[in-house]
Amino acid sequence: MLDSQGRTGSDGTHSAPPGPSTLPPTQTDACTIVADLHAHSTCSDGKFPAEDVLDHALECGLSAFALTDHDTFSGARRARQRLDARIADDPSCASMLLVPGLEISAQTEGKDVHLLVYWARDDDKRLDAMLREAQEGRDARTRACIELLDANGYRVSEEQVTSGGRRLNRTNIARQLVSQGDVPSIAWAFDNLMQPGCPCFVEHHDVDTCEAIELAVQAGGVPVVAHPAHYHVVDKIPMFVEAGLRGIEVYHPEQTDEQSAHLLEMAHRFGVLVTGGSDWHGDSVHKAKLGESGLTASRLEEFLAAQPHDN
Ligand SMILES: [Zn+2]
């Protein structure tokens, strides 16, 4: 999220690596969140490797989980391998369902739109070509941003940003600037340097949202608009539904209860799925911890009923 728009509600401090002590209490009642369908790893702009994120989801006791890295299947693939290895060691790990997912960056009328796509075939050639183009665009944009930062007195190299296997993106630039002591927080770096109107902002052009929805559907996927209220694209939802949108991310840490209620009503009106997740990045990019935002058991059941049969 933050990589494309940089909106955060965070203080940017680095939290300790995930562990049981940071987890929400045991989930028992009907209103408890049992599924987190939105999270990131180092395969995009998350802080922790996909394997660690998967382990953390297991520690949280989730019934279902999706690792949804930006514009790549690699996080979902690595999470799958990790879960298979964990199940081989301990069959009880099979109680958590891993939903394959990714998050596509798109645009509509100049506005950023993020699409979560679940169950898409990861060998689909058209979708793969689109994801490659998105990655190349992000790489070029991030390099241009590094040059602008340099011109403004913020020295950071591509090697530093990508050290330790991190991807080249603006969130990792911000993390590097924080670690060098050049900026107080990730949020500060976006709000003062890399947002539209700021000295190091670089224009970008992503795939049209309706085109991305069509591509996701033809790849067997279930496209869901991510945090539409947070990104101010709620009014575009009817158009997206027309293009084949299958769901709305109703529950997200940056959306208020009122916004969630409105989105829930829209999901019912348009007959599309309700989804939710923490959008966890491993540090303070968003407010919620892993498993703190998402679906209850009954909503998860509705979501899982939408799984395409041929995937
Ligand atoms: Zn996300």
Query: Which amino acid, residue 54?
Result: L
Helix (H), strand (E) at residue 36: strand 35-36
What separation in Å is there between the alpha carbon of 199 and the centre of ligand 1? Answer: 25
Q: Per CATH, which fold does 132-194 belong to?
A: DNA polymerase; domain 1 (1.10.150)
Q: Output the six-digit token pair for 286.
A: 């968003």
Q: Which residues of 289-306 are buried (b: 16+ CB within 10 A; e: fewer)?
A: bbbbbbbbbebbeebeee
At residue 104 the predicted structure's pLDDT band, cuts being 50, 70 and 90, is: very high
Contact 300, 34 (CB under 8 A): yes
What separation in Å is there between the alpha carbon of 252 and the centre of ligand 1? Answer: 10
pLDDT in tens, 113-141: 999 999 999 999 999 999 999 999 999 99
Distances, alpha carbon 177 to alpha carbons 118, 153, 174, in Å: 33, 12, 5
What separation in Å is there between the alpha carbon of 104 and the centre of ligand 1? Answer: 9
What separation in Å is there between the alpha carbon of 3 and the centre of ligand 1? Answer: 9
Q: Residues near 42 by Cβ (< 8 Å), separated by ≥ 6?
A: 48, 49, 50, 164, 165, 166, 167
111 pLDDT more than 50: yes
| 3-state SS record for 101-160 | EEEEEEEECCEEEEEEEECCCCCCHHHHHHHHHHHHHHHHHHHHHHHHHHHCCCCCCHHH
At residue 285 the predicted structure's pLDDT band, cuts being 50, 70 and 90, is: low
pLDDT in tens, 26-72: 434 457 999 999 999 999 999 999 999 999 999 999 999 999 999 99
Query: Which amino acid, residue 38?
Result: H
Q: Residues near 287 by Cβ (< 8 Å), separated by ≥ 6?
A: 9, 10, 253, 254
What separation in Å is there between the alpha carbon of 281 and the centre of ligand 1? Answer: 8
E strands in 141-251: 207-208, 222-225, 247-251
- pTM, two decimals, is 0.86
What separation in Å is there between the alpha carbon of 220 and the centre of ligand 1? Answer: 21
From 4-13, 193-202, 260-269, 279-288, the region with the lowest mean pLDDT: 4-13
- CA-closest candidate to residue 117, choices 19, 209, 216, 236: 216
Contact 113, 107 (CB under 8 A): yes
What's the full length of the chain, in residues? 311
At residue 5 the predicted structure's pLDDT band, cuts being 50, 70 and 90, is: very low
> How is residue 100 annotated by DSSP?
P
Please give the backbone phi and psi of residue 217, each rounded to the nearest 5 degrees, phi first. Answer: -65, -45
Domain ranges (residues) in the chain = 132-194
What separation in Å is there between the alpha carbon of 87 and the centre of ligand 1? Answer: 27
- CA-closest candidate to residue 165, choices 281, 47, 73, 266: 47
Write down the pLDDT at residue 2: 39
Q: Residues near 249 by Cβ (< 8 Å), separated by ≥ 6?
A: 37, 38, 116, 224, 225, 226, 227, 228, 263, 275, 276, 277
**pLDDT averaged over the chain?**
89
What separation in Å is there between the alpha carbon of 237 and the centre of ligand 1? Answer: 18
What separation in Å is there between the alpha carbon of 89 and the centre of ligand 1? Answer: 30
pLDDT in tens, 203-257: 988 999 999 999 999 999 999 999 999 999 999 999 999 999 999 999 999 999 9
Tell me how crowded residue 29 is: count the other CB atoms within 10 A of its CB.
7
177 burial type by CB count under 10 A (0-12 exposed, 13-18 middle, 19+ buried): buried
Tell me how crowded residue 242 is: count the other CB atoms within 10 A of its CB.
11
